[in-house]
Amino acid sequence: MGTPVTIALDAMGGDHGPSVVIPAAAIALVRHPDLRFILVGDEAKIARELEANPQVAEKSEIVHTDVAITMDAKPSQALRRGRWKSSMWLAIQAVRDGHADAVVSAGNTGALMAMSKFCLKTIKGVDRPAIAAIWPTVDAECIVLDVGANVGADSRQLVEFTLMGAAMARALFGMERPTVGLLNIGVEEVKGVEEIRDAAALLKEAPLPIRYHGFIEGNDIGHGTVDVVVTDGFTGNIALKTAEGTAKQIAQYLRAAMGRSLLARLGAILAQGAFRALKEKMDPRQMNGGIFLGLNGIVVKSHGGTDATGFASAIDLGYEMASSGVVNRLGSDVAHFHTKLELEGAA
């Protein structure tokens, strides 16, 4: 067992609050016995859930507040109204003050990003944080970013996203030089908007800790062509939601087809093992959790409507990122990149 990792949990975030967060902590604790928790939220509601999960109670401290950021709050409202007392803010503050190694919240995404940027600040040299998601591929997983933090991105920001994604790949996948591709409308060098082409030129020339693959198309993501897929938040979010919708559509097609006739139902019974494996592979709860990269701290966003299994996956992600030293490595990579740009500009 290594050094204990402390995760601050926004117990009031999401659609279900402590009724999901505390059981999820119990699941994560089985997988990572060295975990400790700071549970931020309404103490009475948290305590009720802890009665059924004494193992979590033994590894936790409670920070009481009855203020929670609503799921429909605008980021500007979240920053103005009671931010200092909300469960979301206090959980992030625990990371800033060194009491926690990461924070996990299923709360309002815009509010979480705004509060995280305000409280933790961005790493020196990072213009904008990005949201990174783990994406299942044919053989393993890849990392896709940005999936929603920034509507657009210029060439330097896309390179910064590349460094962020590569740092995450090293932390989660144990690879020193991950393969990176820029998501584009074609693989030819002449295709794409100017920002994409300029980012490609920078990635080909800069001595970065990556293996630059080149442009990739949308179908390459699921094929696992590269370890890290880089794009702006507008395109990345559309790709993510399209993939989620397609997965649900395929599941509906299969259920309808398997119930169409007696022979089809018999076939479904015989193929139960294969369908179970497919369901597990496509289960979004297993990949739940987007991480805000580029901040002076680890912030994981869980889907607001997930159950305990899904929220536990987000805790797992926070644990793995906190154990890897990814923030320090990313800061070093970004500083190296900007130093090179400054030297080239002065030449």
Give me the domain span that covers residue 243.
127-285
Query: Does residue 230 surpass a pLDDT of 80?
Result: yes
Output the pTM of the full model: 0.86
Q: 211-225, 264-278, 315-329: which range is least confident on average?
A: 264-278
In a domain, 32, yes or no: yes
Exposure on the CB side of residue 19, measured as CA atoms within 13 A: 7
Examine the domain organization and report whether 186 and 117 are in the same domain. no
Q: Give the pLDDT band (50/70/90) at residue 262.
A: confident
What is residue 6's predicted lDDT score, i.e. its pLDDT? 97
Sign of CA dihedral 125, 196, 212, 216: positive
- Which stretch, 149-158, 164-173, 220-229, has highest mean pLDDT? 220-229
Query: Does residue 71 surpass a pLDDT of 90?
Result: no
Query: Does residue 41 surpass a pLDDT of 90?
Result: yes
In a domain, 330, yes or no: no
CATH of the domain at 227: 3.40.718.10
Examine the domain organization and report whether 109 and 7 are in the same domain. yes
Q: Give the pLDDT band (50/70/90) at residue 334.
A: confident
What is residue 29's predicted lDDT score, i.e. its pLDDT? 96
**Whole-number Cα distances in Å, 204 to 166, 227, 252:** 15, 17, 43
**Domains in the chain, number:** 2
**End of a domain among 285, 312, 335?**
285
Q: Give the pLDDT band (50/70/90) at residue 81.
A: low
Examine the domain organization and report whether 251 and 300 are in the same domain. no
What is residue 11's predicted lDDT score, i.e. its pLDDT? 95
Query: Does residue 241 surpass a pLDDT of 90?
Result: no
Examine the domain organization and report whether 278 and 135 are in the same domain. yes
Burial 228-242 (b: 16+ CB within 10 A, else e): bbbbbbebbbebbee
In a domain, 84, yes or no: yes
Closest listed residue to residue 302, CA positions, set 106, 149, 143: 106
Which residue has better confidence, 48 or 279? 48
In a domain, 345, yes or no: no
Residue 24 phi/psi, 5-degree rounding, is -65, -40
In a domain, 347, yes or no: no
What is the spatial distance between Cα 299 and Cα 321, in angstroms, rounded to a whole number? 10
What is the spatial distance between Cα 298 and Cα 324, in angstroms, rounded to a whole number? 11
In a domain, 335, yes or no: no
Query: Does residue 174 surpass a pLDDT of 60?
Result: yes
Q: 64-78, 84-98, 254-268, 290-304: which range is least confident on average?
A: 254-268
Examine the domain organization and report whether 214 and 179 are in the same domain. yes
What is residue 317's predicted lDDT score, i.e. its pLDDT? 92
Examine the domain organization and report whether 170 and 213 are in the same domain. yes
Q: 101-110, 152-161, 249-258: which range is least confident on average?
A: 249-258
Q: What SS3 class is residue 138?
A: coil
290-293 and 228-230: which strand pairing? unpaired
Mean pLDDT of 165-170: 89
Mean pLDDT of 37-55: 96
Mean pLDDT of 272-281: 68
What is residue 341's predicted lDDT score, i.e. its pLDDT? 61
Q: Give the pLDDT band (50/70/90) at residue 196.
A: very high
Residues contacting residue 208 through CB under 8 Å, at least 6 positions apart: 159, 162, 163, 166, 333, 336, 337
Examine the domain organization and report whether 155 and 279 are in the same domain. yes
**pLDDT per residue as tens digits for the range 206-224:** 778 889 999 999 999 989 9
Q: 19-33, 180-194, 229-243, 272-286: which range is least confident on average?
A: 272-286
Examine the domain organization and report whether 42 and 138 are in the same domain. no
Examine the domain organization and report whether 89 and 147 are in the same domain. no
What is residue 21's predicted lDDT score, i.e. its pLDDT? 96
Examine the domain organization and report whether 242 and 298 are in the same domain. no
Closest listed residue to residue 329, CA positions, set 170, 186, 161, 175: 170
What is residue 112's predicted lDDT score, i.e. its pLDDT? 92
What is the spatial distance between Cα 164 and Cα 6, in angstroms, rounded to a whole number? 23
How would DSSP label each residue in 13-54? -TTTTHHHHHHHHHHHHHH-TTEEEEEEE-HHHHHHHHHT-H
What is the spatial distance between Cα 57 and Cα 34, in angstroms, rounded to a whole number? 14
Examine the domain organization and report whether 65 and 113 are in the same domain. yes
**End of a domain among 235, 266, 285?**
285
Closest listed residue to residue 168, CA positions, set 154, 158, 180, 157: 180
Strands across the sheet with 5-10, in order?
60-64, 35-41, 5-10, 102-105, 299-301, 290-293, 130-136, 141-145, 228-230, 179-183, 211-216
**pLDDT per residue as tens digits for the range 90-117:** 999 999 999 999 999 999 988 999 999 9
**End of a domain among 231, 254, 285?**
285
Average pLDDT, rounded, for the chain: 87
What is residue 340's predicted lDDT score, i.e. its pLDDT? 66
Residues contacting residue 85 through CB under 8 Å, at least 6 positions apart: 65, 67
Query: Does residue 318 surpass a pLDDT of 90?
Result: yes
Examine the domain organization and report whether 306 and 241 are in the same domain. no
What is residue 2's predicted lDDT score, i.e. its pLDDT? 60
Closest listed residue to residue 156, CA positions, set 240, 232, 226, 257: 232
